[in-house]
Amino acid sequence: MDILVLEEAPFIDDLLPFTATRSALDIRMGILTFRERWQCRSRPDSNALSTRQIRYPWDIFLYNSEALTEDFLLITAGRRSEPIPASVQAIQPHSIFIEEGARLQHCILNASTGPIYIGRDSEIMEGASIRGPFALCEGAVVKMGARIYGATTIGPYSVAGGEVKNSVLFGYSNKAHDGYLGDSVIGEWCNLGAGTSNSNIKNTASSVKVWHPASETFMDAGLKCGLLMGDYSRCAINSSFNTGTVVGVCCNVVGGGLPPKYIPDFTWGTPPGASSERGNPERVKYAWNKAIRDIGNWKKLKNRSLSDSEILILRPIFERS
């Protein structure tokens, strides 16, 4: 199944908050971004199959299993995996592909439910249990004792720990500690504090309503939807997110109780007693200079720096927030 997103599509704002800071073509789903996937598909030895339109943010995790399977076949065709270390318990090893430089010992890889891709220079620490379909992209890390279910993508240079299920981390983001992340999409340069968890299904088992910034209405996202967090956002330890929560770009989510189900771009904190619905009359805006400084500090932790082009993208988002 080939996956398609058109940059020129009139519904591009439907993919907010993720298209606030990038082209839709640079959204990661499966192992690759859409741009990388189409570049691979343009090779003479590649044949495009049918197409599926990814229109809303929850489609990213909803169809991640299909994308992982397609990308695995695309990337590994005609290539040989690095050997699986003897200490690794592998189920259906022919559906596991390990790139050069990957480090893994004393973990469990179960590819009977879908392929498992281990990227270049990535690491799976001892005691981790992983079920496919799953992708650990270049330089990413799975922490000790992590429990990861498919269909999950841990993007480049991200860190994953605790319990993760059917989620996508775009890149350079951290969910490094215990807590549950399920049916969620996390942008780049995000950090989830220790103990952070999200709900992905309502107690009534009814449809999850998700705030849709483009239409300023709640939309039906199906029976399961967890956390949708834009780039450069962070939350405090033991944060709890309701089903279908949308966090915008560059937010610092702190405070007691459940935060609102929609947190606008450049929000600082969530006061106690905040509404579970859209908006918050006590919202405090993240000061520009402080926000840019803090992003720079987080980037330094991964030996990166905030570029002028990134600042130019962020400035109008801040001014509109």
Q: What's the whole-model pTM score?
A: 0.92
280 located within any domain: no
Residues of the chain by 3-state class (helix, strand, coil), percent to 5: 20, 30, 55
Q: Which residue, among 3, 23, 1, has the nearest Cα to 13 in the 3D structure?
A: 23
How many other CB atoms are there within 10 angstroms of residue 78's CB atom? 5
234 located within any domain: no
29 located within any domain: yes
132 located within any domain: no
Predicted local distance difference test score (pLDDT) of residue 270: 78
Predicted local distance difference test score (pLDDT) of residue 283: 81
Predicted local distance difference test score (pLDDT) of residue 1: 47
Predicted local distance difference test score (pLDDT) of residue 11: 67
119 located within any domain: no
Predicted local distance difference test score (pLDDT) of residue 6: 45
Residue-range definition of the domain harbouring residue 34 = 2-63
Predicted local distance difference test score (pLDDT) of residue 272: 52
3-state SS, residue 281: coil
CA 214 to each of CA 161, 262, 279: distance values in angstroms, whole numbers, following the listed order? 33, 13, 15
245 located within any domain: no
| Radius of gyration of the CA atoms of the chain, in A | 19
Q: Which amino acid is at 233?
A: S
56 located within any domain: yes
Angstrom distance (rounded) from CA 146 to CA 119:
17
Question: Phi first, then psi: what are they for 187, rounded to 5°?
Answer: -70, -160
pLDDT in tens, the chain (321 residues): 454 444 445 567 999 999 999 999 999 999 999 999 988 876 544 446 446 788 999 999 999 999 999 999 999 999 999 999 999 999 999 999 999 999 999 999 999 999 999 999 999 999 999 999 999 999 999 999 999 998 999 999 999 999 999 999 999 999 999 999 999 999 999 999 999 999 999 999 999 999 998 889 999 999 999 999 999 999 999 999 999 999 999 999 998 788 999 999 999 987 654 444 554 557 899 999 999 999 999 999 999 999 999 999 999 999 999
3-state SS, residue 215: coil
CA 238 and chain centroid, separation: 19
**The token pair that represents 262 in the structure block:** 């929609």
Predicted local distance difference test score (pLDDT) of residue 273: 47
Q: Which amino acid is at 115?
A: P
Answer for the pair 26, 35: CB distance below 8 angstroms, yes or no.
Answer: yes
- Overall domain count for the chain: 1
46 located within any domain: yes
